[in-house]
Amino acid sequence: MSFRWHPGSVTQHRWAGQAVETRFFLTGYYLTDIYRNDMITHLTAWRKSAAVAVACLSLASAAALIVSAATPAPSQPATAAQEPTRAADDLHVRAPRPAAPSSPSGTRAHTAFWDAFYSGRYEAIPGVQQQLTAAYLENPRDAQTALLLGHTHLWKTSERAREEKRNPATVDHLVLAEHYFEQAHRLAPEDHRILGWLGSVRLPLGTIRGDEALRAEGDRLLREAVRRHPRFNHFTSAFVRASLPANDPRFQEALEQMWRNVEECSGVRSDEKHGAEVDVYELAKSADPVCVNGEKAPHNFEGFVLVLGDMLMKAGKEEQALATYERAKLAPTYAAWPYREVLESRVQNAPATTQKIRNGEAAPMVQGSGYSCAVCHTRR
């Protein structure tokens, strides 16, 4: 996951010489099982031969399966010599290939993406995708362009609650997100966050298709991502499972992962049975840029606190949830957070929410909302 709240902190993650730090998450599982062989034929407007190549790659990536070992191991990044073997053999994705720097059109497309994303302009996604797709066809070895294309498709599905009508074709964006995340992983195998995003897409794709093997492989990929980069991917893994029923063991595991994330970022350790006693505000003391607010996620800390509080409410832990919600107000950026009223509404309505949960009704959650990405990333 990505916490970023520390005065003056600057993102240091890089692809092809470009500083990049993003986090997006897939939420919910109600997409309809519809697949289209012509899902990317719109690309012919750019370059007919390139469109055919991309279509073939998309169909191949949609059929790719991931198998990863989940055995505990140090979280240091794999070496350049190790990574091609792990990617090809352990994870069942194609071997890495050399990346290329962004072209001028690619740089412009990246700027268009961030302008839309920082302002939460969900309606701008089609235009941004058009620019990024054109840049991708011009330079398919640009890792950042492939990554941001994956994120635009994931953003489209994650905040689909903004749509006036539920659209079954949303699943097309999920398939394309998988394709472009796989390309990004091949181009930047040293960035272990991408494994988490890829797993967070393949897990629900398995659910949509009724393919238990694919769902399990997405789950194993998430576990491998956590092993490689726990401070980032504990949250990624937890977020995608938070929509499950509260009595599902996988939801309970997701809640535990949230506390493990706090421990990883704060350095405060606790007995496994008492992990929930770790003070979430310890995150504020972290010197790791991954764990605090920053340029790409200006309200990362507040967003994390809201997600954790929602999960605690869903688990029937109202008192602990209220204490967690209050921690968000300690952030110096809280007054400028566009979603502070959402959190304050959670606090005000907590007793009624608890009663709804007891009656078997759904509790409000960041997951599946129209702000599941914006809650951390929107600046204005």
Is there a contact between 75 and 229 (Cβ–Cβ < 8 Å)?
yes
Least confident window among 22-26, 184-188, 269-273, 338-342: 22-26
pLDDT above 70 for 82: no
103-128 pLDDT, tens digit per residue, is: 899 999 999 999 999 999 999 999 99
- Residues 6 or more apart from 187 whose CB is under 8 A from it? 15, 16, 96, 97, 98, 99, 141, 142, 143, 146
Q: What was the pLDDT predicted at 8?
A: 32
- Residue ranges and CATH numbers for the domains of the chain are 3-68+77-377 (1.25.40.10)
Q: What was the pLDDT predicted at 278?
A: 54
pLDDT above 90 coverage of the chain, percent: 57
Alpha carbons 214 and 206: distance in angstroms, whole number: 5
Q: What was the pLDDT predicted at 78?
A: 39
Q: What was the pLDDT predicted at 279?
A: 64
Tokens describing residue 181: 């995340």
219-258 pLDDT, tens digit per residue, is: 999 999 999 999 999 999 999 999 999 999 999 999 999 9
Mean pLDDT across 93-97? 56
Is there a contact between 338 and 380 (Cβ–Cβ < 8 Å)?
yes
pLDDT above 80 for 205: yes
Alpha carbons 372 and 374: distance in angstroms, whole number: 6
Q: Over the chain, what is the mean pLDDT?
A: 76
Q: What was the pLDDT predicted at 186?
A: 93
Least confident window among 23-37, 214-228, 342-356: 23-37
pTM comes to: 0.73
Higher pLDDT, 169 or 181: 181
Kind and range of the H or E run holding 211: none
pLDDT above 80 for 63: no
- Residues 6 or more apart from 53 whose CB is under 8 A from it? none
Tokens describing residue 349: 């309505």
Letter string b/e over residues 29-48, b meaning 16 or more CB atoms within 10 A of that residue's CB: eebeeeeeeebbeebeebee
Mean pLDDT across 174-200? 95
134-156 pLDDT, tens digit per residue, is: 999 999 999 999 999 999 999 99
Q: Across-strand partners of 292? A: 4
In a 13 Å sphere around the CA of 56, the CA atoms on its Cβ side amount to 5
Tokens describing residue 21: 């730090």
